[in-house]
Structure 1
């Protein structure tokens, strides 16, 4: 299986995006995010997305040269318009602007509207935690889950992410989808010609399926049954209702080049621990140490850090099929 260094992978992705109409700056932002996800072992948000993104650029479903704008209408509020471009440049703008605002007023929030697929939601909050902040991210996605007891999808898989700093260690990062698995895992399985496990999804008639193509036409199984659906409602209200973005049922798919831009939203909240206590990070470390002291226990994100280090040292294993798909995109 071919290997690519992280720099080679970023160049490969950025080149494909530029060929299809992305500006160099936007292509670089997207490439950092996708290769970062691949390096973390999150393949559903990694290189498998490149052919779809390229198709959406050609169809103008995503605006390749969009430049996000940032406004600050109130002391702790940032309004970011992604302008129907990729989400990653808008997320980069939020990560750049939030630390100074959070340190000034204690807590700051950035809303992002007219956005797109946010990929691995843990990346922006991890970057904020590395700057010493506690951060949460809520993102809505196109309809994929039905309300509990219903059959028509009105919620997305709607990721939630959280990160907080630990003195002298990588941050704690929680990144989860409100479906049992991220929809990108099903897309990746379809591209590889593999089946999916029982319990991940239902087909268009509401029957359990292991066929990824049928799952993509049907609905996702919610994490925690009714509890997962309740959380998805919360995310829709925060990420779309609050930000003035499209709800899941109004958004076009992230997975094809049909229709107009999805126009979804994201909300990022950043807190400066120093505004709330004199020793927040040290208290975070005390709980982390209590968890890690137990045999077999680990903090969320610990595996991701190990996989990332190995990828940085050894490169990425990339299939011939993936390389061919990116080259042909």
Structure 2
């Protein structure tokens, strides 16, 4: 069943504040999940709300912690999350990168002692809305086998990139380096659905359509050795450069509710205006997009799309129609309303 976006937003923010967040941080926290749902990235949407608060309740995340951001050079920043909430830490780190890029043209940040930051596209899209190109990546608990391997050694290690355009929607690439994000398996488990047999192997290394078996098995990297290489590079940046855990030593975020994650992120922002007028860049991007979209479609395809275009269209539709909330999520919301003394509006 679908519910109005603002009803979900108001409820989520009220619960978050009762749980110990500042109103400012609660807005970021809930807006990240809502934006994931608007774009139909439900694995990172409001379905995660109960899980984040469970980590706070059990001591794995500090809901009141603020990040320590140090600018070590004109274009370099190091961030210690201090085990704060991933969404607000990532937002503030991106804001610091944007501010630095406005001065120097390019900014790069490393973040350690962090936790699950939700929908990664949220942060790079924020930079792109201000006329910048942005990249963000993080490492995650081991769930994916390296190419040629038989057990999990790397995380899904997602990356997000956003590029502004003019009259076209921005390009948004937001993806895991596994065939699918772990959250899609978690959502299938919650809703009692099967999964495609191309997503994962069970604990015995066999193809499976059972999300429970996949959860105890291993995910596969996208593109074989190519996805494996990208995932390993992200782990090097987030672990060896940022100083966070590597994927092999990050606790399972929503299953281990007592141990801090020490996840790592890296971010890079490029201020286009330091290289050429923004209008010139946007016109060039628009022309390129139009040439790509003019490509004749292959058999079985209706049209060539720009990355992020499907999600952009979904956002326009879902803003007016509302966001789908499953029965398990509504049950969790009801429990949260009772626990935190917030009216249940659904």
Q: Same fold (TM over 0.5)?
A: yes
- Contact kept in structure 2, 1:70 and 1:81, CA below 8 Å: yes
Q: Does 1:266 align with 2:265?
A: yes
- Contact kept in structure 1, 2:172 and 2:308, CA below 8 Å: yes
Q: Please give the secondary structure, in 1, of the residue aligned with 2:8.
A: helix
- Contact kept in structure 2, 1:59 and 1:257, CA below 8 Å: no
CA distance in 2, matches of 1:28, 1:130: 18
CA distance in 2, matches of 1:269, 1:132: 14
Shift of 1:294: 3.0
Query: 1:45: which partner in 2?
Result: 44
Query: 1:245: which partner in 2?
Result: 244
Q: Does 1:222 align with 2:229?
A: no
Query: 2:307: which partner in 1?
Result: 300
Shift of 1:19: 4.7
Q: Please give the secondary structure, in 2, of the residue aligned with 1:255.
A: coil
Q: Please give the secondary structure, in 2, of the residue aligned with 1:166.
A: coil
CA distance in 2, matches of 1:118, 1:233: 20
Q: Does 1:323 align with 2:324?
A: no
- Contact kept in structure 2, 1:16 and 1:327, CA below 8 Å: no
Alignment TM-score, normalising by the size of structure 2: 0.90
- Contact kept in structure 2, 1:55 and 1:256, CA below 8 Å: no
CA distance in 1, matches of 2:195, 2:13: 30
CA distance in 1, matches of 2:242, 2:307: 28
Most deviating of 116-125 and 298-307: 116-125
Shift of 1:107: 0.8
Over residues 63-91 of structure 1, what are the superposed CA-to-partner deviations in whole Å (9 max), with x where a residue is unaligned?
11111221111100122222112111112
Over residues 207-230 of structure 1, what are the superposed CA-to-partner deviations in whole Å (9 max), with x where a residue is unaligned?
221111111111111101121111
Most deviating of 163-172 and 208-217: 163-172
Q: Structure 1 unaligned segments of length 5 or more: list them.
A: none
Q: Please give the secondary structure, in 1, of the residue aligned with 2:136.
A: strand
Alignment of 1:1-329 (within 5 A): 1=1, 3-277=2-276, 279-295=280-296, 296-329=303-336
Most deviating of 38-47 and 277-286: 277-286
Over residues 120-149 of structure 1, what are the superposed CA-to-partner deviations in whole Å (9 max), with x where a residue is unaligned?
211111111111111111111111112222
Over residues 171-191 of structure 1, what are the superposed CA-to-partner deviations in whole Å (9 max), with x where a residue is unaligned?
111111111011100000000
Shift of 1:286: 2.1
Over residues 93-137 of structure 1, what are the superposed CA-to-partner deviations in whole Å (9 max), with x where a residue is unaligned?
123222231121111012111111122211111111111111111
- Contact kept in structure 1, 2:55 and 2:258, CA below 8 Å: no
CA distance in 2, matches of 1:326, 1:252: 26
Instruction: Report the RMSD for the aligned CA atoms in angstroms.
Output: 1.7
Call closer, same or farther: CA 1:209–1:16 in 2, change over 3 Å: farther
Call closer, same or farther: CA 1:30–1:305 in 2, change over 3 Å: same
CA distance in 2, matches of 1:103, 1:321: 44
CA distance in 2, matches of 1:249, 1:42: 26
CA distance in 2, matches of 1:321, 1:19: 22
Shift of 1:150: 1.9
- Contact kept in structure 2, 1:135 and 1:271, CA below 8 Å: yes
- Contact kept in structure 1, 2:160 and 2:175, CA below 8 Å: yes
- Contact kept in structure 2, 1:21 and 1:58, CA below 8 Å: no
- Contact kept in structure 1, 2:59 and 2:257, CA below 8 Å: no
Most deviating of 275-284 and 213-222: 275-284
Q: Structure 2 unaligned segments of length 5 or more: list them.
A: 297-302, 337-346
- Contact kept in structure 1, 2:63 and 2:84, CA below 8 Å: yes
Alignment TM-score, normalising by the size of structure 1: 0.94
